[in-house]
Amino acid sequence: MKIVIFNVRYSPNLGDGVLAECLERRLGVSLPGAEIETLDLAGRTAYGIADSRRSGALRLLQVMPPPARRMLVARVLGSRLAALRAQWRGKIAGADAVVIGGGNLFQDDDLNFPLKIAQVLELCREESCPVAIHAVGVGRHWSRRAAKLFDTLRTCNVLGVSVRDHGARQNWEQHFPDWPSPGIAPDPALTLQVEMHGRRDRTRPLVGLCVTHPLILRRHAGASRENIPLGTVQGYGALAECLLDAGCDIVFFTNGAVEDQACLEHIRNTLFRAKNRAPDRCSFAARPNTPQELIALLGTFDAVAAHRLHACITAYALGVPPVGLGWDQKMESFFQMIGREPFFVSAHKGNAEIIGERIVTTLGEGLDLDDRRRCIEKAEKAIEGLAAGLKMTIRGSERETA
């Protein structure tokens, strides 16, 4: 049996790598002997490949009107997807089934994912290869062109659809009102197999502050830009001051995206150069280059605060209490799913004092271990269910051709 998975495994945002590796590993456990290969939707083949032009491209897209952005993205992606088409066709033609997931793949993003997903679906249809959608995030708003591209799914042999939370399911039902409601498959990163984090033997708690460039938040925000918690460099500085005053030590870090790391360096250079704080009270992590480096870093903290969803998901899987910063529906949906709504800081309520108070509170309370265990089990069982569906379909196909 051969299964080909499509997602963004080698994204510079290493949270995508964490979930991709977890899905591949766990699916392999449920399908012993199967050949499982993950292909990156951007054509990347390794971690640590950074595009220095990305920040400039994002700034350009930010100032363009939506129709012009979509036209530009379609033009740039067209040649890249054409170059990948033959390779993808060969992989799909040799597969028993294709899995698309997990990650926030069914979002518009100026046609970025719609164009990539549509090409995969077209090839699955042309090669008569069944396809399953697993644990995906789903954007609330799609352009007309994006909806048409995603609608390619209707032409395929679809084994099943699952989304990663209730918010994603509501959005899916909005886009595909005539389809059965998709199942809920919690993010595969929750199945991370690493020894659970334990409180370190140290005098002061260590808090990880995950830095996300304000440009990213403004570009994809579901909330108004002015109300995004920690939406400015000054906001990070104010939160650091609150936590230092509360007796915490701090590490600024990123999930690996180049623009986020540039923002981290800006924070270092502008906010703390002249401070009199002891150097060991506030530090800045080097950019992680692999999912394993990100996991190891997250495992050193006593609590994490982040806009990045997979910083929170991975921390939670490790037993590190996360505090989520509201800017997009997916973050709120995750905290609802794991029963940690009080530790999601929504827009309009995200000043440094409130965020700092939530962090200090979760340092004292920790995690509900029973809730955490149930969430992990649900993610594991969802992948087991995916594997069972793949086996059933493939065995049925073998009987038909016997």
Q: Tell me the per-residue pLDDT of 230-266, one tens digit each, with 9 for 90 and over.
A: 888 888 999 999 999 999 999 999 999 999 999 999 9
pLDDT tens digits along 63-96: 566 667 777 777 888 999 999 999 999 999 999 9
At residue 399 the predicted structure's pLDDT band, cuts being 50, 70 and 90, is very low
Exposure b/e, 363-394, CB count within 10 A at least 16 = b = beeebeeeebeebbeebbebbebbbebbbebb
Joined tokens for residue 61: 């897209």
pLDDT given for residue 402 in this prediction: 42
CATH of domain 2-190+380-401: 3.40.50.2300
How many whole angstroms separate alpha carbon 202 and alpha carbon 248?
11
CATH 3.40.50.2000-classified regions of the chain: 206-367
Instruction: Please count the other Cβ atoms lying within 10 Å of the Cβ belonging to residue 147.
Output: 13
Percent of the chain surpassing pLDDT 70: 87
CA-only gyration radius of the chain, Å: 21
Q: Give pLDDT, residue 71.
A: 77
Residue 55, pLDDT above cutoff 70:
no
Topology adopted by domain 206-367: Rossmann fold (3.40.50)
pTM: 0.92
Please tell me the distance from the alpha carbon of residue 390 to that of residue 402, in angstroms, as a whole number: 18
**pLDDT above 70 for 395:** no
Strands 97-106 and 2-7 come out as parallel
Residues of the chain with CATH 3.40.50.2300: 2-190+380-401
Quote the pLDDT of residue 52.
Answer: 57
